[in-house]
Structure 1
């Protein structure tokens, strides 16, 4: 590392970068928790009401599927702006880490729900039919057969969703959502500090890589194969 490169990084305010990293982790962790809590049952309902499933209901499935597709197809930056009044009503502010979590959850929940539906569709239909033949109730089928059978796939879906939330959290900096995205915009873009931009991007890349490796190891550990 030459002197100019050393001086470039020495001039950085690492305390700000550390705080921004912590804020990003808080946003991702908090929004991921609520996304799983909301998206998992939504995905299960999508699966159960789909064609040739135990609770087949064409109209309900079509309505839920349309809602999921509408939110998923909306660019997250636009969704952030649209949801400002909702966020202010729920949290009292639309900026900072608290103000970023509601749009993160709303934006990621349909995405995760669709992943859950697709994972559940991979279950051998014979498992459901055998459970029904033994007189199992719907909750028993869901919690005793479907979810345990698809647990590795659900872990993979959670990993993908967590990585997506990292990018969403970075984009929330557009409206002052805090974290690395906000730091990159305020200092890296608006003040033309390329060193800040470089470091924030590098930290985001490392965070994504760490999440992917951790998620892959969990999937391998709990895989039946």
Structure 2
């Protein structure tokens, strides 16, 4: 494996894949990463209120690795250069404004996409990280299929609440899109641990077709 650093972006407390992946006019930077990486469009979330579950499983499974759990800001490049963590987890929780106003939710999605774009551009430019860094973007869960009285919640039973798109970019990942394979939150920890050749004891699997052979 060529990956030495992993940036795992937990994309908000509920965001629909139609907004951060399917519609490039809303999230052009995230779509750019997706087009240069690999996407599983059918990532199933068993719960639509599983805050930080995938995050916790990833960190619990990698206790011997140096990682940072960090709320997002523009200091990330300086942090990477100074500490050079093997794993950096970034989480953006601003999308919960959708409970109050759909327009504010869309604004938050676009702001997150801007941050994703700045980070991606920096990784690609930096000679210390551009060939050995992986970026993975996955929300905790989605949101309802339709806006309800100007609000957008995350309720059980809606397709866009339970199904998200997971995006993988980096030197060890293939390029492409898988629209058929259904993966799950439980697959995230063993899949990302595989980058560092660590066997995990959690449930789940290393997702098929992602890694270069």
Under TM normalisation by the shorter chain, which class is it?
0.3 to 0.5
The TM-score with structure 2 as length reference comes to 0.33
Considering Cα pairs closer than 8 Å and 6+ residues apart, tell me whether 1 or 2 has the greater RCO.
2
Bigger Rg, which one: 1
The TM-score with structure 1 as length reference comes to 0.31
Report which of the two has the higher share of strand. Answer: 2
